[in-house]
Amino acid sequence: MDCSWDFTGKCCIVTGAANGIGKQTAILLARSGAQVVLVDQDEEGLVAATHACHEVACVTPLSILADVSKKQDVERLVTSTLAHCHKIDCLVSGAGLLYRTPFMEIELAEWDEVMNTNIRGLFLCNQLIIAEMLKLGAGRIVNIASVAGRSMSLIGGAHYATSKHAVIGLTRHMARELCQQGIRVNAFCPGATSTAMIHDNLNVEQVDALKLRIPLGRLAEADEQAQVIAFMLSDAASYLNGACIDSNGGSVML
């Protein structure tokens, strides 16, 4: 898939950029002319994603090793981005954790780990980056939720589903508060996508069973999901605010 987007002159931060949808989004934005800032705590994956962006854009993006659940790390990524790009136009908040632990077996430490990354980290990135966007009077944000935030999760545990519901709620509230100050905030809810998160947690038989629940009969590819995110950030979506866009192949979980 190769849709044309123009992000020339835009500085775009992507968290969770080392793998999966985040990585493909960073590559697409780089290919579309953006100054891309890649953020992740997976050092090896971050190096690979940085190299991939350089290959398509012939420019080495800023790469920041950071734990988004730590305020000092988020402050550092904002400071580093401003030193490199002098502004921040777009944020794709995609850093996230998934565990499959059954509800009655979830330890408090694991619950906190998921919430710290999926909610606290998203909150910190949004709040500190929006503070800079407000100085420009403009900004575009896509917070990556999940089909799990629409209903429940067939893959992750209750803590994962809970965190993704929270992403949608937080996004909608932010959108209402910030839109008149030039900031558009939307949530993206991808369905099952062929990424490490799926293949590390499900065996081949489980993946095949999952495909049977999807009317299109297959998992999404990460670059397909990246195209939707690029649309949400683009001028083509200028009236999109507080929305929650599903990209799930037609699957509806009750």
Write the pLDDT tens digit of every residue in 147-164. Answer: 999 988 888 999 999 999
Q: Is position 117 within any domain? A: yes
By residue count, the chain amounts to 254
Q: Is position 122 within any domain? A: yes
Strand-by-strand arrangement of the 62-65 sheet: 62-65, 35-40, 11-15, 90-93, 139-144, 183-190, 244-247
Write the pLDDT tens digit of every residue in 76-122. Answer: 999 999 999 999 999 999 999 999 999 999 999 999 999 999 999 99
Average pLDDT over residues 170-177: 98
Q: Is position 6 within any domain? A: no
Average pLDDT over residues 32-38: 97
Return the H-helix or E-strand segment holding 39.
Answer: strand 35-40
Q: Is position 45 within any domain? A: yes
Average pLDDT over residues 163-188: 98
Q: Is position 69 within any domain? A: yes
Total domains in the fold of the chain: 1
| Structural domain that includes position 174 | 11-247
Average pLDDT over residues 199-207: 88
Q: Is position 192 within any domain? A: yes
Among the listed residues 10, 160, 170, 191, the single catalytic one is 160
Which H, E and C letters describe 110-165, residue by residue? HHHHHHHHHHHHHHHHHHHHHHHHHHHCCEEEEEECCHHHCCCCCCCCHHHHHHHH
Q: Is position 182 within any domain? A: yes
Active site residue 160: yes
CATH number at residue 23: 3.40.50.720
pLDDT at res. 254: 44
Query: pTM, whole model, 2 decimals?
Result: 0.95
Q: Is position 253 within any domain? A: no
Residue with tokens 């929006």: 130
Q: DSSP of 199-226, one letter per residue?
A: HTTS-HHHHHHHHHTSTTSSPBPHHHHH
Give the three-state DSSP class for 89: coil
Joined tokens for residue 223: 């670059």
Average pLDDT over residues 32-46: 97
Average pLDDT over residues 248-252: 84
Answer yes or no: is pLDDT of 1 > 60.
no
